[in-house]
Chain A
Amino acid sequence: MHVTYWIVGEDEATLTQCNYFAVLPIKRQLKSTKLFIYSSHLWTGMSVGFIGAGQLAHALVRGFTAAGVIAGNRITASSPDTDLPTVAGLRKLGVNLTMSNKEVVNKSDVLFLAVKPHIIPFVLDEIGPDIEDRHLIVSCAAGVTISSIEKKLFQHRQFPKVMRCMTNTPVVVREGATVYATGTHAEVEDGKLLEQLMSSVGYCTEVEEDLIDAVTGLSGSGPAYAFTALDALADGGVKMGLPRRLAVRLGAQALLGAAKMLLDSEQHPGQLKDDVCSPGGATIHALHVMESGGFRSLLINAVEASCIRTRELQFLADQENISPAAIKKTTLDKVLQQPGVSRAEVGVRGGINLFNNSSPRKKY
């Protein structure tokens, strides 16, 4: 299931044209030769599916294929809307696209639920009957608890293997920050599997589920804080005379470099900050301005607000009172057009009751 590929050669350009690898992550030079060894861990025999073909699915697939950890054609993704730009992007990466969630389930071993949180119950109702023992269900939906998923699937499968993960958009450049929590019936190996997969696109570690809201506030939303900061830093540069493109470039590089220094260092960020501030110099003057503006407390407040909102959304979701307006009619119609999907299965009734007690198991 898990294979390490090695390619030996002299010419990097030729090697990287090899179909299997978009980027060869690990490169070593054989001593006193001109030969380079490129290696990558590749999964063979394991298929990955995505329910939902939006930003998250696209970012993850781009990351996985760039890391060479799985080939595009071993990935299936479903979306009722084929006009999405992310759908086109996925197609370009070799992903098999379908409008049928059931098809994704049948063709996958690791199944990512990459739809908006309020859609999750509908999806679970629909695919519940098709879940097999082999499936590892990974929900990426913010605020959706493992227990709510296990509860939903219970009528179809008593011991579904469920994991919950919170990642972030920089997986697309393989610098994501991912945490995952393991469900009741998932084994340690399932966690390790997910960790290996997500480690190919950045940092990944296991956490207790009750920390996931905090992670959302910090690293889930984090890139947005950084983009805002970079936009403003660039404005500062432009104000002081720099051309915009250069300002953006330099600002981004400064943050990237600082982050790298911190990750590589044992030192406290406070110490690293001190190392930049020469006495009476420019930087300490700037820092004083930032402190006066309450920079630190703003960031603390932001993380707190994002975390609290995540909890609120989770609370609302747990109420299980999703109004029919919460799901787009067009989306629902397309879902209902799929072969084998009945209204009863998707839990659409007069008022939405997401606990679907009488759905007949359809096999096809």
Chain B
Amino acid sequence: MDSTFRVGFIGAGNMAFGIAKGMLSGDVLSTNVTVSAPSQRNFGCFQELGVAVTHSNVDLVRGSEVVFIAVKPHLVPTVLNEISEHVTQKHMIISVAAGVTITTLEELLPAETVVLRLMPNLPCLLQEGALLFSRGSKARPEDGALLSSLLQHCGLVEEGPEAWIDVHTGLSGSGVAFVYLFAEALAEGAVKMGMPSALAHSIAAQTILGAGRLLKDSGKHPAQLRSEVCTPGGTTIFGLHALEQGGLRATTMNAVEAATERARELGRKSAGTGDRK
């Protein structure tokens, strides 16, 4: 069923590319995918996937049923104004723009439009993304199911109320950067203790990858896995003690909170309303 849908991406950046790539690993045929952008700069990698390219957003909308709005947030109103009169009830419009609320999207589009809001994250590029989406007022459960199945090869796909999208941004959107920071610090610790930098970075990356995979696949609580690594009086518990003394847990909670709060703030600004959540 997926293969009969024609999918379009307005915007040819990283997010669009990652999602497109994921979809194409599934049942979607590349002949059914189009991407539009004002410049040719990023068209190359899309064309390599066999995807059609265009400079016309309107043509794309008229030729697709599923349309991803993958432009920078400040460009969303412009794009929606441009395509609005060509959007019909057969369309499903999915916005990937951070901080742009469903209310805003629905205001800029025809009344009965099926709108969904999606928050992916960077590892979508490797089909290891974490994607959370929310349905707009006219989007039915079936529309959510369709989006889920289109995105299933992009990584972990979940649905939730719109309120969770800001939290997801803080946790998983920004969370990727938090992990990079931690990786850098791990490597620096190793360098301090005498390991060459390149090797330290490479091992740090593999450590995080391996730990992440084990966490995901084992189904165990991270506290359980942590305990399993700690032999009595061993190296790990000493290191963990240092982390606890540095308040790593609280700091990490603060980071997720700060990123989430900022996402909410941006959402309020873009909506132009003063309502507090």
Contacts and interface: CB of A to CB of B under 8 A. Distances in A.
A291 B255 CA distance: 13
Interface in B247-264: 247, 249-250, 253-254, 257
B221 A294 contact: no
Contacts of A270: 221-224, 226
Contacts of B244: 294, 296-297, 300
Contacts of B221: 267-268, 270-271, 274
Contact of A292 (B223, B245, B250): B250
Interface in B210-245: 221-224, 226-227, 241, 244-245
B224 A292 contact: no
Q: Contact size class for B? A: 10 to 19
Contacts of B245: 294, 297, 300-301
A257 interface: no
Nearest to A304: B241
Interface in A257-273: 267-271
Interface string A295-306: 011001100000
Contacts of A301: 245
Please report whether the interface of chain A is mostly helix, strand, loop or mixed according to DSSP: helix
A300 B257 CA distance: 26
Most buried by B among A291, A292, A294: A291
A267 to B, nearest CB: 8
A357 B226 CA distance: 54
Contacts of B249: 291, 296
Contact of B250 (A269, A271, A274, A291): A291
B49 to A, nearest CB: 38
A268 B223 contact: yes
A281 to B, nearest CB: 14
Contact of B247 (A271, A292, A300): A292
A240 to B, nearest CB: 22
Contacts of B226: 270
B205 to A, nearest CB: 26
Contacts of A294: 244-245, 247, 250
A268 B247 contact: no
B223 A271 contact: yes
A27 interface: no
Given A288-B253, A291-B249, A292-B247, A297 B241 contact: yes
A283 to B, nearest CB: 13
Interface of A: 267-271, 274, 288, 291-294, 296-297, 300-301
20 contacts: A268-B224, A268-B227, A269-B223, A270-B223, A270-B224, A270-B226, A271-B221, A274-B221, A288-B250, A291-B249, A291-B250, A292-B247, A292-B250, A294-B245, A294-B250, A296-B244, A296-B249, A297-B244, A297-B245, A300-B244
